Structure 1
Amino acid sequence: MDIFEAGSRASQLANSDYFAGRVWQNPIVDAPEPARLNALWVTFEPCARTAWHTHPLGQTLHVVSGAGLVCSRGAAPRVIRAGDTVWIPPGEEHWHGAGPDTGMVHLAMQEKLNGRAADWLEHVSAEDYARAPVAAR
């Protein structure tokens, strides 16, 4: 059993190859094999977002605070708010992040397949980010 005491692991500024804007990541768990769970607490400042990406075994997002956006390739962004949970199926191209005027914090949970939890694609264009969102409800 491992216990990671609160504050014992530093926050990391997310890699700009995969994120736009200021995004902070705090590790929750990166379970050793044969377990596959990887989970992060992710804080997006306004306008910050991921690049387009997929997950080999899918991803669950749980919004902890604020309001943001999630978008599947070819669709309009959808608004997500504190308390919302999003399931993204394996292989679905998507992005997620804060709204233009609001920060957002979410818990991101995904499993690794052959050692990888995500496959990163290109950055989200300003035009794609600015598309009018639809309510998630």
Structure 2
Amino acid sequence: MELKPVSPTVKTPVQMFTGDVYLTPIYNGTEPSRMTVALVRFTPGARTNWHSHAVGQTLHVTEGTGLVSTRDGTVLRIRGGDTVICPPGEEHWHGATADTFMSHLAMLENLPDGGDPTTWLEPVPDEEYRTANQQ
């Protein structure tokens, strides 16, 4: 058994997020584990860019209300206690609603070769985000 101290919280890069988003690393697996877990906190209106994950991603909402959307226009309104499974390769974005904070645990696996399991794409346009909030 090993106790890990709390890692410092960092502000996420503006190249991958819109608005103020903060990330606290929780776990980055050591072989044979490839699990990585982070607590991600979104301020109202903040969101990720479009992105996908080579081996998928699981989001578990810890508090607040948020949105997850896919390229086909599906929008899920998520709340504390909800869990969303994003399959491998599915392009999606997630973040807080326009008027509430949202925090989630982001869980995914690193690639066996050590490469980045996330493919970051373009920002979500403001109009698309506004439309998602109205659903």
CA contact (8 A) 1:77 1:131 kept: no
Q: In structure 2, how many angstroms separate the alpha carbons of the residues matched to 1:30 and 1:61?
A: 16
Counterpart mapping for 1:30-109 below 5 A: 30-109=28-107
Aligned length: 133
Deviations 1:3-34 (A, max 9, x none): 2124xx21000111111100000011011233
Q: State the alpha-carbon separation in 2 of the partners of residues 132 and 5 from structure 1.
A: 37
**In the alignment, which of 17, 20, 25 is matched to residue 18 of structure 2?**
20
* 2:3 counterpart of 1:11: no
Alpha-carbon contact 1:61-1:107 (below 8 Å) kept: yes
Structure 2 counterpart of 1:64, which letter? Answer: T
Contact 2:57 2:88 in 1 (8 A): yes
In 2, distance between residues paired with 1:61 and 1:132?
18
TM-score (norm 2): 0.92
SS in 1 for 2:68: strand
1:119 aligned to 2:119? yes
Report percent identity of matched pairs: 47
Please identify runs of 4+ aligned residues in structure 1 that moved more than 6 A: none
Unaligned runs of 5+ in 1: none
TM-align CA RMSD: 1.5
Unmatched 5+ stretches in structure 2: none
AA of the residue aligned to 1:131: T
